[in-house]
Amino acid sequence: MKLLHIDSSVLGAHSVSRQVSAAIVARLRQATPSLDVHYRDLTQTPLAHLSGSHLAAAQGAPAPAELAPDLAASQAALAEFLAADIVVIGAPMYNFTIPSQLKAWIDRILVAGKTFKYDANGPQGLAGTKRVIVAISRGGYYGADTPAALGEHLETYLRWCSASSASRTRSSSSPTASRSGRNIARRRWQAR
């Protein structure tokens, strides 16, 4: 069974989402020692933002030689995603939504004809069934009962992107809740 582990926080060792995503992967490895884990750090090895020439090449236009590394990186990211049975994503909230590094990755894996298509019933997933676990970290509280709920564009966005059922864990990094949020998230995973 293959697991793809993605991190996108820019805060390195201080990152909450990295700690929680690592704890999730460690727990899953413990449960399934034969798990084949592939790690992609989107801040250490960022994917470029999409370009017009990239889109044109993906649709069959002749690609300039200098685009070759970008096209290869895109194909590698897509192949990794398609091969994975489980995807664990560390997703911090930056300015109400996901980091741009994570958006750049999503732009490479949400590809019409490869991972989704539109038919008479609307968008249909083509990537098969995957377990997607997202470790979300954010400083604020965006509960449905708060005015800030309107500003929550991370979880709602990732839910919309997900072509399969999602299992999530949350943590908070507000000064008072930081440690307890991480511990709660870890405990939840240790108990599974």
Ligand X SMILES: Cc1cc2nc3c(=O)[nH]c(=O)nc-3n(C[C@H](O)[C@H](O)[C@H](O)COP(=O)(O)O)c2cc1C
Q: Where do contacts with ligand X occur on this chain (CB under 6 A)?
A: 9, 11, 15-18, 92-96, 137-140, 173
Which residue, 95 or 124, has its beta carbon nearer to ligand X?
95
Find residue 25's DSSP bridge partners. Answer: none
Nearer to ligand X, 74 or 173 (CB): 173
From edge to edge, which strands make up the β-sheet containing 2-7?
A: 36-41, 2-7, 86-92, 131-138, 166-172
Taking the complex as a whole, how short is the minimal distance between the CB of residue 17 and ligand X, in angstroms? 3
Q: Looking at beta carbons only, is 13 or 191 nearer to ligand X?
A: 13
- Other CB atoms within 10 A of residue 118 CB: 9
Backbone angles phi, psi at 132, to 5 degrees: -115, 120
If the CB atoms of residues 17 and 169 are measured against ligand X, the closer one turns out to be 17
**Least gap, CB of 97 to ligand X (angstroms):** 8
Q: How far is the CB of 191 from ligand X (least distance, A)?
A: 22
Q: Is 25 exposed, middle or buried (0-12, 13-18, 19+ CB in 10 A)?
A: buried
Q: Closest approach of Cβ 130 to ligand X, in Å?
A: 22
